Structure 1
C-alpha cells in the first residue's frame, strides 16, 4: 500500500488550522507540496492505497464467511469505508483540522490523540509481522525451485529466509530517513500486485477445475463471518491518506470529494471482489490465509507469482516501518530524531517484528487480529465518533443515524472477532504441500506445471 501520504498527515499537523472548507483545503495543499492532482491522478493514488498487500487474504476471508455472505460483507465494508472517508473530511471541515490526528485531538483531546496514535502504530506494526510471515512462506517455495535447493536446504527454512531478507533488504531500506528515496516503491508494488492478480485469475481457470470443491463450499454463510469482516477491514484501510489527497484535488469540495471517493472505493471493490472470488473458487474450503500457500511447489506460474508478491512485500515493508517510527517519535519525542535515535528506533522496530514473525507463522490469524484490533476502529468507530462529537443533534437522528450505528457495529466486530479468534484459531498449512499436489485427482491427472 502507498504510505507516502501518511507522512503528509503528520506534516500537516504543523500548520495553523483554519475554520472554512476552502482554507482547510489550501493548508492541506500547502503541506502536500503545492501540487494539484487531476481527479483521475488522485483516484489512481487512492486506489493504489487500498489495493495493496492486504488483498492476498481476501480469498481466505470468503472461506471464513462463505462465498455469498463474504461478498455481501465485502460490499458492506467497502460502503462503510466510502462513507467514513467522507465523514472524516466533513469532520475536518467542522473542526478546521487538516489531518486524522489533529481531528481526533481537537474532538477528544490528548487522550484521543494517544488512542489514535496507538492504533496507527499497531496497524502497520502487525502488518509488518504479516509481511515477514508471508516472505518466509512465499520465498522458501521460490528458492526450492532453484537447482540444488531441496526441502532440507537452509534456503527452504522459513526462519532463515525471514532473517536473511530482514538483514539484506528490509532493515537497510527502513533506515532511510527521507521517504522520497522510496518514491518508486509504490509504483513497483502496484505493478507486482497487478501481476499477482492476473496469475490468480489464470489459475482459477486452469487449476481450479482439477480440485474437487469441499463440502459446503458454496454455503451461503459460515461461522467465522466476523473474523472475515476484520480481514476485509484490514484490506480497505486508507483513511490516513484522505486529508492529503483531498487537499491535492484541483477543486477540493465535499461534493467533488464524494464523487472521487465513490469512484475510487468502487473500483477497488471490483478488483478486490474479483481477486477474492477467483482465489476462493479455485481452492474452496482449502483456501489459506496466504493464497500462494495453496499452489503446488512445481507450479512455475505460481512460483513467479510468489516471487512477485514476495518482492512487493519486501519493498512495502520500509514504508510501514516509516509510519510506525513516525508515530513513536511524535508521541515519545515530539521532535526530529537524531541519527543515532533514528537508527536505534528502526532497529528495535524491525527486530521486534522479526522476532514475533519467527515465533508465529499463521498469516490468517495475524490478518484477523490486525483487522479487529486496529483496522475496525480506524474505519468504523473513530470517524463516526469524531463526527458525532462535532455535529449538533441527538444520536440516531438525521445525519447522525448512520455514524451512531457504525460505532455499535464496530464495537461488535472488535469484541466478537477478538473472542472468536482467541477461542477458535484457524489451522494453517505452515508451508506443507497440499494433498492435491501430491496425489492424482479424480480425473487421474496431476496439477499442471
Structure 2
C-alpha cells in the first residue's frame, strides 16, 4: 500500500499541527476497516468501486462541454500546432495527478481539502475548498446552459415545429428545473460516487456517438461554400477557406491555449474516486488517471480534426450549430443533440460530489455521515446553480473569470504547492529534481492564469464574444 499511517513516527514532525484535540489518525487517515472504537466519518468505508467504473467516472469528469469547441480551437491553431498543444496539456495533467497522489500517499489523505490543511493549515483548507466549489459550480452551470438552450430545440424538432412557440414546455428555464429535479437530484443523492459509474459509462457512450457522427459527416459534407456564403454579408470568399492549415497564428490563437488546458480539469474528482477505489494503491489510481486522460485525448483529437476538416475556415465556436446551418432538419444531428444533452445531464451529479465533499470538509469535518445533511447540500447546490442559469444571461463571462483562476489552480498551482510542502525535506530536499520540477509546474500555472485573464479582459474591452468552456 502507498498510504502510510502517521503513527509510524516517520513524518508527523514535518507537517502543520492538526486541529486541537483530534488525533492524527482520526483527522486524516482513511482506514479500510473500522476497529469498532473509532467514530465513523463520512469518508470511512472500504472502497468497492472497480477499476473500470473508476475510469468511467474520471473520464466523465474530464469530458466537458468544451468538446463542442475543439474544432474551432483547431481552426485558430492549425492541425499540427493543435496536436502539440493537446499532447503537452494531457501529459501535464497526468503529471499533476501524480503530484496529488504522491502527496496523498505520504500522509494518508484522500481529500483535496485536507491536503490543503496539511500543507498550509486552515487557510490552505479553505482555499482548496473554495476553489473546488467555484470551479465545479461553473462547470455545472455550463452544462445546464446547454440543457437550457438545446433541449427546447430538440423538443421543437420532435414536434415538427419550424419556429419556437410560447408553450411552457418550450421554455428553457422551466426545462432545467424539471431536469434538475427529475434526473440530476436523484443521482446526486446517491451515497457513494462509485455508483455513478453506470451513468458515467452511458454518458461517455453518448459522446462516442457524437464523435462517430462528426466523423461520418466529414465524408458527407463538402466544404459548405454556398451554405455560408449565402448567409455572409461578404460576397468575396477567400480561396483558402476550404484548405486545412497545419499552423495558424491569429488574434485568437493564444486565447485557445487556456481553453485546451481547461478541457482536462478533473483534479477535484481524483481523490474522491481514489477513496472509493477497490484495492486502492497509488499505481492503480495513476493508471486510472492515465487511461482516462488517454481516452479523452483520443476523443478530443478526433473531434477536433474531423470537425475542422468538415468546415475548415468556416468553423465556429459551437460545432452542432454548424451542422444545423447546413441542414436544419437533419435527423442524425437531432439525435446527436439529444445524446449531448444526455451526456451533460449525467455529468452534473459527478461534478456535484466534490463540491459537497468540499463543503463537508470545510463546515463539518468531524461529523459522521447524515442523510439530512447529504440531501440538504445537494438541494441547495442545485437550487443555486439553477438560479444562476435562469437569472444571469451573460453568466458565460462570469464563469470565464472563475475558470481562468480556478482551473490553473486545480491543475498546476495547488498540486505543486501541496507536493513541495508535504513531501518531507529528508526524503526530497528543496534542491532535488522532483521539487524543482514541481516549482516550475507551479510557475506555469500562474502563467496560464495571467494569459487567461488577459485575453478575457481583451474580449470585454473589444466587445467580441469567444467561447470558453471546460
Q: Is TM (by shorter chain) over 0.5?
A: yes
Question: Equivalents in 1 of 2:45, 2:371: separation in Å?
Answer: 25
Asked if residue 171 in structure 1 is aligned to residue 181 in structure 2, the reply is yes
Q: Is the 8 A contact 1:17 1:98 kept in 2?
A: no
| CA deviation vs aligned residue, 1:1-48 (integer Å, no higher than 9, x gap) | xxxxxxxxxxx9xx9866689x9x99475656343745x665455434
Structure 2: gaps (5+ residues): 12-24, 34-43, 229-239
Partner residue in 1 for 2:321: 293
1:98 aligned counterpart, secondary structure: coil
**CA-atom RMSD, angstroms?**
3.9
Partner residue in 2 for 1:281: 309
How far did residue 77 of structure 1 move? 1.0
How far did residue 170 of structure 1 move? 0.8
Question: Equivalents in 2 of 1:111, 1:415: separation in Å?
Answer: 23
2:281 aligned counterpart, secondary structure: coil
Question: Equivalents in 1 of 2:271, 2:165: separation in Å?
Answer: 49
Match for residue 310 of structure 1 among 341, 351, 359? 341
Question: Equivalents in 2 of 1:184, 1:286: separation in Å?
Answer: 38
Partner residue in 2 for 1:377: 409
Q: Is the 8 A contact 2:199 2:346 kept in 1?
A: yes
Distance 1:32 1:208, change over 3 A: farther
Partner residue in 1 for 2:355: 324
Question: Equivalents in 2 of 1:224, 1:156: separation in Å?
Answer: 39
Q: What is the count of residue pairs matched by the alignment?
A: 411
Match for residue 434 of structure 2 among 399, 422, 429? 399
| CA deviation vs aligned residue, 1:58-89 (integer Å, no higher than 9, x gap) | 33333454443332221111011111111111
Question: Equivalents in 1 of 2:418, 2:190: separation in Å?
Answer: 32
| CA deviation vs aligned residue, 1:328-359 (integer Å, no higher than 9, x gap) | 34434554798777666555433432343345
Q: Is the 8 A contact 1:185 1:315 kept in 2?
A: yes
How far did residue 228 of structure 1 move? 2.3
Q: Is the 8 A contact 2:459 2:465 kept in 1?
A: no
Question: Equivalents in 1 of 2:395, 2:273: separation in Å?
Answer: 31
Q: Is the 8 A contact 2:102 2:419 kept in 1?
A: yes
- Once the two structures are overlaid, the 10-residue window that deviates more, 116-125 or 360-369, is 360-369
Q: Equivalent residues in 2 for 1:7-156 (5 A)?
A: 27=30, 31=44, 33-35=46-48, 37=50, 42-154=54-166
| CA deviation vs aligned residue, 1:85-118 (integer Å, no higher than 9, x gap) | 1111111223332332222210111111111111
Question: Equivalents in 2 of 1:64, 1:368: separation in Å?
Answer: 19
- Once the two structures are overlaid, the 10-residue window that deviates more, 192-201 or 335-344, is 335-344
Question: Equivalents in 2 of 1:105, 1:208: separation in Å?
Answer: 56
Q: Is the 8 A contact 1:59 1:287 kept in 2?
A: yes
How far did residue 309 of structure 1 move? 0.8
1:145 aligned counterpart, secondary structure: helix
Asked if residue 419 in structure 1 is aligned to residue 454 in structure 2, the reply is yes
Partner residue in 2 for 1:236: 264
- Once the two structures are overlaid, the 10-residue window that deviates more, 409-418 or 60-69, is 60-69
How far did residue 306 of structure 1 move? 0.3
Question: Equivalents in 2 of 1:354, 1:374: separation in Å?
Answer: 21
2:263 aligned counterpart, secondary structure: helix
Question: Equivalents in 2 of 1:332, 1:97: separation in Å?
Answer: 18
TM-score normalised to the size of structure 1? 0.77
Q: Is the 8 A contact 1:192 1:309 kept in 2?
A: yes
TM-score normalised to the size of structure 2? 0.74
| CA deviation vs aligned residue, 1:189-221 (integer Å, no higher than 9, x gap) | 122121111112212222253358649962433
Question: Equivalents in 1 of 2:119, 2:57: separation in Å?
Answer: 28
Structure 1: gaps (5+ residues): 1-11, 430-449
Match for residue 201 of structure 2 among 184, 187, 196? 187
Asked if residue 203 in structure 1 is aligned to residue 217 in structure 2, the reply is yes
Distance 1:353 1:79, change over 3 A: same
